[in-house]
Each structure stands twice: as C-alpha cells, then as structure tokens.
Amino acid sequence: MVRHPLSSRFLQAMILGYVLLAIFTRVQEARGAYTCGCDEDCWCKRPGLSLFRWVLPRWHMNQAIAAWKASQL
C-alpha cells in the first residue's frame, strides 16, 4: 500500500480548521466586531457563501475592502 505524503487525515484537519476559522469570524461579525462593507452583488453576500466572507479575502467587488478584510485576520 502506498501512502500519500499529504495524508487525507492532514487534509481533513486543514479543512476543519479553515471551516472553524470561518465560523469563528462569522460569530465575531455577528457580535459586531467586524462589518462587511461589500456591495450587495458581491459573492460574499450570498447565503451560504457568507460563511467564507472573512477567510477568503478574494474576488470581492470592492478591492479596498478585500485588502482591509485580509488585514483583519
């Protein structure tokens, strides 16, 4: 049996950590720590995708806000 250098367990831990960070930042936002200033047509305003609003500071409609979001983490 050949094992991958990146075991699926490691990958699962990475994904789990990423999702936990996404949930954490969304909870912080709900508590008023952050405010999303993106336009209404930004991808991060879509239900479901908003979870990753803070951990994926890319492709936002507003470049200045994308940069600011990246600096928040």
Measured CA to CA, the distance from residue 51 to residue 21 in angstroms comes to 10
Q: How far is the CB of 43 from Zn ion (least distance, A)?
A: 6
Q: Which residue number places its CB atom closest to Zn ion?
A: 38
Residue from 43, 44, 36, 46 nearest 72 by CA: 36
Residue from 22, 38, 56, 70 binding Zn ion (CB under 5 A): 38
Query: Is residue 44 near Zn ion by the rule CB under 5 A?
Result: yes
Site size for Zn ion, by CB under 5 A?
4
Cα-based distances in Å from 15 to 25, 35, 60, 68: 15, 25, 22, 24
Q: How far is the CB of 62 from Zn ion (least distance, A)?
A: 7
Query: Is residue 55 near Zn ion by the rule CB under 5 A?
Result: no
Residues that bind Zn ion (CB under 5 A): 38, 42, 44, 60
